[in-house]
Amino acid sequence: MSQDKYTVETITDVRPWTDSLFSFRTTRDRGYRFTPGQFARIGVRAHEDEAKDPLKSIVWRAYSIASAAHDEHLEFFSVVVPGGQFTSRLSKLKAGDELFVERKSYGFLTTDRFEAGRDLWMLATGTGLAPFLSILHDFHTWESYDNLILVQSVRTQQELAYEDLIRGFESSEYYAEFAHKLRYARIVTREPVPGALRDRVTKLLANGVLEENVGLKLDHDRSRIMLCGNPEMVEDSRRILVERGYRVSRRGDPGHLAVENYW
Ligand code: NAP
């Protein structure tokens, strides 16, 4: 990739959630623009000793942006893929290290894919939560919908990253007036957690328990649904919803569904 296509940023903070789950922040170029829900392409050096030809040694991956469009920094949420070249390098980076960010942002998991609805459903597994955090920090989202439903599915309680932030909208100076619109359903699939659902989101969608738990019915006129995370979850949920008459948004043809696979 030629040098004018990306900027060199600095990692400002790394936050581990579990042994294999972490978030990190970087500086943000003043010219970097994105729509909440989109992803960035970020690059790390593959080898420390490649100073001779640094351009060739950068490895690139897509990462959904977790931070708000108005934040001065960029934030990302990552797993360490066992044996993965990129994430194992990424997870070793620390504040002060450099990281590359392509100038262009990507992706269609954005609310502008929909015609106005009343309820925005955001279904995430694992690190697929990231784009929804950005969307939830967009005031336009809160103003446009009566209800925002965030469903976060993880394997263990410890993986319920960002729970405090999500619950914190209520006491936030800027979001408190809207926070009553948020319904937050946690799914923890591999251990019992009080107040959390236990079954996979696909099962809970198919048998109606998710709607019951959230206290809202899915409805063609009201509901706009976003899916992000494990590709099988995205595919299976999409199929369940398409069978119930929900349509995926296409360019110039807004529907009810927007999806992003995560790997
Ligand atoms: P995950 O396996 O995606 O599980 C997260 C949650 O999604 C769990 O509650 C899980 O339920 C549920 N889930 C998984 N498959 C599902 C399906 N088909 N339908 C409905 N729900 C489903 O966990 P993760 O920690 O986010 O990721 C696991 C592995 O994926 C990582 O260790 C990594 O190897 C890989 N990964 C790769 C990348 C990449 O960029 N290459 C990115 C993210 C993850 P269950 O407990 O029932 O499985």
Instruction: Report which protein residue has its CA nearest ligand 1's atom 24.
Output: 126
pLDDT tens-digit map of 81-97: 988 888 988 999 999 99
CA–centroid distance, 45 to ligand 1, in Å, is: 26
CA distance 233 to 55: 36
**18, 20, 199, 200, best to mutate for ligand 1 pocket (most atoms within 8 Å of CB):** 200
Phi, psi of 251 (to 5 degrees): -55, 125
With residue 196 as reference, give the H or E element that holds it: none
Pocket of ligand 1 (CB under 6 A): 79, 81-82, 125-127, 153-155, 187, 189-190, 200-202, 229-230, 232-233, 236, 262-263
pLDDT tens-digit map of 28-55: 999 999 999 999 999 998 876 555 565 6
Instruction: Output the six-digit token pair for 233.
Output: 């979850």
pLDDT tens-digit map of 185-211: 999 999 999 999 999 999 999 999 999
CA distance 98 to 235: 35
The dihedral built from the CA positions of residue 212, 121, 144 and 135, taken in this order, carries a sign that is positive
Residue-wise DSSP of 58-96: EEEEEEE--S-TT-SEEEEEEE--TT-HHHHHHTT--TT
Phi, psi of 92 (to 5 degrees): -90, -10
CA–centroid distance, 178 to ligand 1, in Å, is: 31
CA–CA distances in Å: residue 44 to residues 68, 76, 97, 165, 263: 23, 14, 10, 28, 18
